[in-house]
């Protein structure tokens, strides 16, 4: 009986997992907004934004979708206490890294970001890496089955 009690995650596990789900859920919202942006909407944007969007490779949206959808599924897996959460969060990180490659290596997008614009491109991979660590740590503590 003591093993079952020891296997129960602490309250902060649920808080971190829930906040992570909200974080990735916001990413899905942004992804859906971007996917549903019409050509007419893009034409109304400032020229610099139009140029930035035109510079994205065709596979960028796939990477974005992989990052946020796998992230949501990984966080749901954490909340369901499933070990495969780390695999899903690893897939999410692959999508994030592909996005980062576009921003910092393949285009000038990252070079043109200033001040507050840098927060999300820096924070997103940090959170993705943290979530993989969190899932692995949770698994090592037998909180995930």
Is residue 113 in a domain? yes
Q: Give the C-alpha separation, 2 to 12, whole Å.
A: 20
Looking at the domain assignment, is residue 8 inside a domain?
no
The number of angstroms, rounded, from the C-alpha of 14 to the middle of its chain's C-alpha atoms is 18
Q: Report the number of distinct structural domains present in the chain.
A: 1
136 Cβ contact partners less than 8 Å away, ≥ 6 residues apart = 86
The two three-digit tokens of residue 19, written as one number: 């906040």
Tell me if 7 is assigned to some domain. no
Mean pLDDT over the full length of the chain: 91
Q: What is the pTM of this model?
A: 0.88
List pLDDT tens digits, range 62-93. 999 999 999 999 999 999 999 999 999 999 99
CB 23: neighbour CB atoms within 10 A? Answer: 18
Q: Check pLDDT > 90 for residue 109.
A: no
Residues 108-126: what's their mean pLDDT?
86
In a domain, 40, yes or no: yes
Residue 70 included in any domain: yes
Residue range 28-53, pLDDT digits in tens: 999 999 999 888 988 988 888 888 88
Residue 4 lies in a domain: no
Domain holding 65, by residue range, is: 15-140
Asked if residue 2 is part of any domain, the answer here is no
């Amino acid at each position: 009986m003591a093993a079952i009690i020891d296997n129960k995650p602490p309250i902060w596990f649920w808080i971190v997992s829930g906040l992570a789900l909200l974080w990735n859920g916001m990413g899905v919202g942004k992804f859906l907004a971007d996917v549903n942006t019409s050509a007419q909407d893009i034409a109304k944007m400032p020229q610099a934004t139009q140029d930035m969007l035109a510079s994205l490779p065709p596979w960028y949206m796939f990477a974005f979708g992989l990052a946020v959808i796998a992230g949501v599924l990984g966080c749901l897996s954490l909340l369901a206490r499933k070990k495969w959460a780390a695999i899903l969060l690893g897939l999410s990180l692959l999508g994030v890294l592909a996005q980062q490659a576009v921003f910092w290596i393949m285009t000038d997008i990252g070079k043109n970001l200033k001040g507050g614009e840098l927060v999300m491109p820096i924070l997103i991979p940090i959170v993705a890496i943290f979530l993989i660590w969190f899932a692995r740590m949770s698994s090592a503590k037998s909180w995930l089955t």
